[in-house]
């Protein structure tokens, strides 16, 4: 009688803990490893297109290799807001884009690191990861 009661209570609790532990582990690994979108390399130029819409950049992370020219196109979405101005502070470049239009930033990163880009008010952010 008491054994039966014991297993009725303990087994569900242990199972519940195991499932909770497992799923939280998965969540952690997902946040620690973001999936950056690698730009496609054709004729030596690394190109990527980033859409600005609804207050964010898609993709917000682009991975490139250093020493090779990069061409980043920003496409203005429907809900541009203040994202209509793209600022690369560290490159001293800033450009305006309208809905349905695109602008291009060209540069050649010569060292590994991160090149952030933001809207004119520093609210939306994304980055180019240089490897």
Does 97 participate in binding Cu ion (rule CB under 5 A)?
A: no
Cβ within 8 Å of residue 106, ≥6 positions away: 69, 70, 71, 72
Q: Which CB sits closer to Cu ion, 109 or 126? A: 126
Beta strands in the chain (DSSP E): 37-38, 40-42, 45-53, 56-58, 61-64, 70-76, 85-88, 93-96, 102-107, 113-118, 125-130
Q: Which CB sits closer to Cu ion, 104 or 123? A: 123
115: its two tokens: 């090149």
Question: Minimum CB separation from Cu ion for residue 30, in Å?
Answer: 27
DSSP 8-state secondary structure symbol assigned to residue 54: T
- Among residues 82, 87, 103, 129, the one that binds Cu ion under rule CB under 5 A: 82
Cis peptide bond upstream of 11, omega within 30 = no
- Among residues 19, 121, 125, 131, the one that binds Cu ion under rule CB under 5 A: 121
Q: Which CB sits closer to Cu ion, 64 or 105? A: 105
One symbol per residue from 27 to 66: x for binding Cu ion (CB under 5 A), - otherwise; what is it? ----------------------------------------
Q: Which residues bind Cu ion (CB under 5 A)?
A: 82, 119, 121, 123
């Amino acid at each position: 009688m008491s054994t039966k009661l014991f297993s009725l209570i303990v087994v569900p609790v242990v199972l519940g803990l195991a499932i909770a532990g497992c799923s939280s582990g998965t969540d952690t690994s997902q946040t620690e490893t973001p999936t950056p979108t690698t730009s496609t390399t054709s004729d030596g130029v690394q190109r990527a297109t980033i859409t600005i819409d609804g207050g964010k950049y898609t993709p917000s992370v682009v991975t490139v290799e250093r020493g090779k020219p990069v061409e980043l196109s920003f496409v203005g979405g429907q809900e541009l807001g203040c994202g209509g101005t793209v600022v690369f502070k560290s490159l001293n470049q800033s450009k305006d884009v309208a809905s349905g239009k695109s602008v291009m930033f060209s540069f050649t990163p010569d060292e590994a690191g991160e090149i952030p880009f933001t809207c004119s008010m520093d609210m939306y952010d994304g980055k180019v990861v240089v490897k």
